[in-house]
Amino acid sequence: MPATLLRIHPDNPPQNRIQQVVDVLRKGGIIIYPTDTVYGIGCDIHNPKAVDRLCRIKGLNPDKANLSFICSDLSHIADYAHGITTPTYKVLKKALPGPFTFIFEASSKAPRQGGNKRKTVGIRVPDNTIIIQLVKELGNPIFSTSVREDENTLDEYVTDPDLIFEKYRLLVDLVIDGGFGNNVPSTIIDCSNNDFELVRQGAGDIEQYL
């Protein structure tokens, strides 16, 4: 069954449309949604079948995939990430919501599918009202990865939601049109060794928060 294309106002998302997307996630659906950087594709972290399906769509091995958690705020981070020091937390509080993915040691509560057998987890809190409201309404983070123009090309991202819909309409359950996305991904910072190691420079500048 083809996906639904759902237009949601980026600044004032209607509650009924947010609930419509959450219902899809709770049923094990795969959604595509806007962030403060590139569009993302994701599912409920507590649904292993959905995570496996997401990895198949992206051509990834579920045990090795570098999927991130999209959280609504810092409160969820301590549930899934281990060993966050007070200085690190202070940096997170300043930098988030924002265009960063922070890598931490995974806690015992982190779901074991979606790459977490590698003992680390990527945490994102995007500065985007639609996805933040979705995660809040869902009640837990979602697994996420970027929507690319070509999965074999690491730096090409689709920015037009209509084009994204055409590309993924037979693969996912719902595509949110929240306006044009950016084509620069998040900056990835590895904090698993109690340091801020730059893994990928993207849209965010971590130096201003250190």
**Alpha-carbon distance 180 to 182, whole Å?**
7
The pLDDT tens digits of the residues spanning 117-173 come to 568 889 999 999 999 999 999 999 999 999 986 655 556 788 999 999 999 999 999
User: In 49-183, which ranges are E strands?
Assistant: 68-70, 81-82, 100-106, 120-124, 142-146, 174-177
The residues spanned by each domain of the chain are: 4-200
Q: By percentage, how much of the chain surpasses pLDDT 90?
A: 74
Tens digit of each residue's pLDDT (9 = 90 or more) over 199-210: 999 999 999 999
Omega before 62 within 30 of 0, i.e. cis: no
pLDDT band at 197 (very low <50, low <70, confident <90, very high): very high
Distance CA 11, CA 123 (A): 23
Higher-scoring residue by pLDDT: 111, 136: 136
Torsion over CA: 125, 130, 131, 134 (sign) = positive
Structure confidence by residue, pLDDT tens digits, 2-40:
899 999 999 999 999 999 999 999 999 999 999 999 999
pTM flag (> 0.85): yes
Distance from chain centroid for Cα 174: 15
Would you list the DSSP string of 130-154?
A: HHHHHHHHHTS-EEEEE-BS-TT-T
CATH superfamily of 4-200: DHBP synthase (3.90.870.10)
- Please give the Cα distance from 105 to 4 (Å, whole number): 36
Please tell me the predicted confidence (pLDDT) of residue 116.
47
